[in-house]
Amino acid sequence: MKIRVKVDRSACIGAAECTLIAPHIFSLDAENKAVVNEEAAAQADEALLWEVADSCPALAIILYDENGDQVYPQ
């Protein structure tokens, strides 16, 4: 299954767990909100993406399957 990642910026609290686990995929912008490096995310290991999403205290990292269906959070 190929996972796609999105950040719900309205939910993001800038905890930065994502940047600690996957700094090549996530960064914080000037508003202290997570931003996804789409190219790096597309190349990332799916297990890493699940780990990052699960680490977000605000559930702001959303994962989608290859059909565009949301698989995390449920």
CATH of the domain spanning 4-65: 3.30.70.20
Q: Domains of the chain: which residue ranges?
A: 4-65
Mean of pLDDT values over 36-44: 96
| Tokens describing residue 67 | 């059909």
Helix, strand, coil percentages for the chain (3-state, nearest 5): 30, 25, 50
Question: 21-37, pLDDT tens digit by residue?
Answer: 999 999 999 999 999 99
Assign 40 to helix, strand or coil. helix
Confidence of residue 48 (pLDDT cuts 50, 70, 90): very high
What's the pTM? 0.92
Per-residue pLDDT of 2-25, as tens digits, reads 899 999 999 999 999 999 999 999
**One-letter identity of residue 69:** D
Dist. CA 69–CA 41, nearest whole Å: 17
